[in-house]
Homo-oligomer: A and B are copies of this chain.
């Protein structure tokens, strides 16, 4: 952990969040397992489902999901980091491929062995889909 200022910490948290969606979308179970905390208690709410509590239950669920090789790319739009202390929340909206986001998401990360590791994932249905952010434009 060389990050020390708030912008660097936020960037590191958002990199961990991006790694979650990369591992998900590419069916990379090893990376998903590496991302989730190994010491801290972990919980995962898949959309609409009851909580999975503990690393074993959570990782087994991801093994099943990723073994099927997700037939879509999962994005996290409007990802925003809220740093608390040695934990940080990322909020955003999940969507697949190029469709508007249909899930509200809370991802919680914790510093463990100098890495921001996931300790909590809660994705739940949105009443109304949220359009993708406008692509950023290059200023000429």
Contact = CB atoms under 8 A, between A and B. Distances in A.
Contacts of A48: 104, 124-128
A113 interface: no
Interface in A16-71: 40-43, 45, 47-51, 53
Interface string A99-140: 000001010101000000001101111111010000000000
A106 B82 contact: no
Contacts of A85: 85-87, 110
A110 B119 CA distance: 15
A9 interface: no
Contacts of A108: 89, 108
B110 A122 contact: no
A124 B125 contact: yes
A89 to B, nearest CB: 6
A12 interface: no
A84 B122 contact: no
Contacts of A124: 45, 47-48, 104, 122-125
18 contacts: A40-B84, A41-B83, A42-B82, A47-B124, A47-B127, A48-B127, A50-B93, A50-B126, A53-B80, A82-B119, A82-B120, A84-B86, A84-B87, A84-B119, A106-B106, A106-B120, A122-B122, A124-B124
